[in-house]
Amino acid sequence: MNMTHESTVMGIVTISVGVGEMKDSQTTPSQLVDIADRSLYQAKDNGRNQVVAQMRTSAELKKTGDA
């Protein structure tokens, strides 16, 4: 896909996506956003143009200190 921006043609457009899933009712919305955010940065670190999904319970978050 070519994209024109201020008279400059940029070559390829890539997309990286981070997905988080609530595995239990104890996971808060804030924790869900954090899981998705971490997934997004992992997708970028892995070379971009990919989807990374993480599914964690609130107990798993507490165990790793991410709660």
For the residues 1-8, what does the mean pLDDT come to? Answer: 57
At residue 66, the pLDDT reads 61
Q: How many whole angstroms separate alpha carbon 12 and alpha carbon 52?
A: 20
Residue that is written with structure tokens 């940065």 in the block = 41
Contact between 66 and 34 under an 8 Å Cβ cutoff? The reply is yes
Whole-structure pTM value? 0.67
- For the stretch 10-63, pLDDT in tens is 656 678 899 988 777 777 888 889 889 989 999 999 987 899 998 877 777 777
At residue 59, the pLDDT reads 77
